[in-house]
Chains A and B, each alone.
Chain A
Amino acid sequence: MNEILNLGLITAIIRVSTPLVFAALGGLLTFKAGILNIAMDGFMLVAAFLGILTAYFTGNLAWAVFAAVLGSVIMAILFGYFNLKFKADIFIAGIAVGMLASGLTAVLLQGALGQTGVFASSKIPRFSQIQIPFIDGIPILSQLFSGYSILVYLAFLFTPVVSLAMSRTKWGLRVRAVGENPDSAASVGIDVFKIKMETVILSGFFCGLGGAYLSLDYVSLFSRDMTADRGLIALAAIFFAQGNPVTTIAVTVLFGIAQALAVRLQQSVGIAPQIVQVIPYFVTMIALIAVGFQTVHHRKYQQVIE
């Protein structure tokens, strides 16, 4: 009994963490390129909505995911242009994209689906659960690692890909150079705008997958502002990990653990759901305070002057 509970908990953690992982992967790329990407919630929200909409009308999940990613990427391009081309302040650009996403999805929710708060339908297909061949028969392993949707596996598979892209490719080196010192990158002929834009578009891609996961897999519905600041929480994880990909993903999973545990506690001990809802923000805040202290500490003893 106890063991089942534990296994279930781990499954829950993986499922809760997945959207955070997607957002963190996207945010990592822009972070490395020196962009404070506060628009990821907007990207994900549009993706979540388009995913549900397309799934509802076509009944085809592949099209749904494609539409979700496309929508998210378009939002990302918008954000990139505001900030990088028209030199809008990053906060203004981020808030504009966020409000656009929230407003647009709310209007379309009403216009196209005739709902005001939540949309769900039995016409929306579900993802099939993938059984991993090698571990299929093994009891605990198969319970833990088999049976998720393709998106969950993608999230965790993309983690080493992003990490390697950053550390081992020419492009990754250029992204890091652009993020740290755009002038120096420009002076060796690197197109800073292009590199930054590429990371923004890729963050749109990952947020698109994250959004699709949220509405099509995690729950099978769309509700207004359903991303619940996961983009910002992922950003906090990135700052906490100081941009290290593996640490970042570890931290997002930690956030996932906190949330999954909280849900369990609510079910078994019966603490108020409001408290549970606060937990992700609370953990994020603690993490950021830790980063703050770390930075101050670092300053004191290492001295800022290089």
Chain B
Amino acid sequence: MVNSVEMRGIVKKFGTLAANNNVDFSAGKGEVHALVGENGAGKTTLMNILYGVIAPDEGSIQIDDRKVHIGNPAVAIGLGIGMVHQHFKLVPSLSVAENIVLGSEPGSRGFFDRLAAMRQVAELADRFALAIDPMATVQDLPVGLQQRVEILKMLYREAKILILDEPTAVLTPQETEELFRTVRNLTSDGKTVIFITHKLNEVMKVSDRVSVMRAGRMVATLNTSEISAAQLAEKMVGRSVLFQVQKQPSEPKEVLLEVKDLRVMSNRGLEAVRGVSLQVRAGEIVGLAGVQGNGQDELVEVLAGLRRSTAGDVLLRGSSSKDFNPRQVREAGVAYIPSDRIKVGLSLDAAIWENMLLGYHATREFNRGGLLDVGKATSFARELISRFDIRGAQVGAPVKSLSGGNQQKVVLAREFSHGRRVIIADQPSRGVDIGAIEFIHKQLVAMRDRGCGVFLISADLDEIFSLSDRILVIFHGEIMGELAARDATVEEVGRLMAGVNRRGGDVIG
């Protein structure tokens, strides 16, 4: 096979920490090459080096057998390298077309030819069967489409080597399927796709070869067909991993969280939640399944105090919490793990210990004489760092110095550790590695057994099935059905998610 990318002896140190420690990596022309490893293993760092975002301390790179020096992304783009970052790099207020052409805009004499941009983008979208409205404003798009914009951005620049950093973390199963189809189209076009993921079934499904990183080193590169998911997991973590969490049947007690006939508007002024009622009892995990964009986000935001409802009520332990602000929600005993932890859950420039205290900074526990008890807060943070195995974390360092998955763990650690009774977990395992998923799942079950009520929202059906005691399915802002997890089947839930009713089979909405 012809190698289109060859990286040799790459070293990158952040202070004393070697994020990449003498790493060799190569990817062939026309291949899908998966890159896996625990949170903080150094995957993003390696790819950022290839894309010219980070300068390596040592090592060499060859593209198409030619030695190159990639000093900045402009050079990488010139060499036909494109990257979709773990956290999208889009300009929210600009249109799809503007985002795609940004940096190499059509037009003459300095003028920007908006119409030509629209036309070119439409053509491109057509050619790669990636339907999108070039005129839409990026901030109005669901994540799946935002990602499409990112991919089109690379294709517009005629990238031959496409790096996708955890592209599926934010996608629904359907969107993931579409992405895989796109990936296959691209490789049959002779393009190279490097694909970072934590989901081993995706590795098995879409990749030709897989490289495994652990603690800054490359530990193996294998042909996907010659290995199983379990073996791969062991290579990643260095021990065997449980894919299914063990749990006893639930013993639900009093109702902790109750939603009554709730109606909520979306940002676009449409009714996103249309009369939802549900209960979460102490000692149970209630899973909410549904294709993203069916009102889950709006529902959760109301529960977290981030959005107002237009009708209905939310009760916490029997008393109304309607129109509570986030602080009141917390004080009423609710922990909230937002799905977009970077935007909603963290302050990236603030220190790790500060982030671990967010929302609880005013409690008596962490205050002494009207001042923050920094000593106590930092030792509390240190304890969480070791308990949640947050790699590469120094209590005083800003959260943004952590790897993507470890940033997520900071939020989880905080929300699990302040003795809340109700836990709203929105996509809790998004972006974290398999070892961490196992840990998070165990934690959620442990919380349940301690008498917490857990409301789990997930686009990942495996997660819903392995954790929930009861499953609710949402479609077009309405609860389509409720199933006991014991006798629910994936097919049935899938049907409800698509809006197909249990008995009739007719589509509603």
Contact = CB atoms under 8 A, between A and B. Distances in A.
**Most chain-B CB neighbours within 10 Å: which of A180, A188, A300, A303?**
A188
A1 B267 CA distance: 55
Given A170-B112, A184-B90, A187-B85, A305 B344 contact: yes
B242 interface: no
B interface, how many residues as a size bin?
A: 35 or more
Nearest to B340: A305
B267 A177 contact: no
Contacts of A188: 73, 77, 89, 102-104, 153, 157
B98 interface: yes
A188 B52 CA distance: 11
B162 to A, nearest CB: 14
Contact of A189 (B73, B91, B307): B73
Interface residues of A, number: 25
Contact of B267 (A168, A174, A180, A302): A302
Contacts of A173: 94, 98, 102, 105, 112
Nearest to A177: B91
A172 interface: yes
A169 B110 contact: yes
A184 B112 contact: no
Given A185-B102, A188-B77, A188-B103, A169 B111 contact: yes
A190 interface: yes
Interface in A149-199: 168-174, 176-177, 180-181, 183-191
B69 to A, nearest CB: 15
A196 to B, nearest CB: 15
B153 A170 contact: no
Given A170-B107, A173-B105, A173-B112, A189 B72 contact: yes
Contact of A190 (B103, B157, B308): B103
B75 to A, nearest CB: 8
B85 A181 contact: no
A266 B340 CA distance: 57
B341 to A, nearest CB: 12
B306 A305 contact: yes
Nearest to A181: B91
A189 B301 contact: no
A3 interface: no
15 contacts: A169-B111, A169-B112, A171-B110, A180-B91, A180-B92, A181-B92, A184-B89, A184-B102, A187-B51, A187-B73, A188-B73, A188-B104, A189-B73, A302-B267, A305-B306
Given A173-B105, A181-B90, A184-B91, 9 more contacts: A169-B111, A176-B93, A176-B94, A183-B89, A185-B102, A188-B153, A190-B103, A303-B307, A305-B343
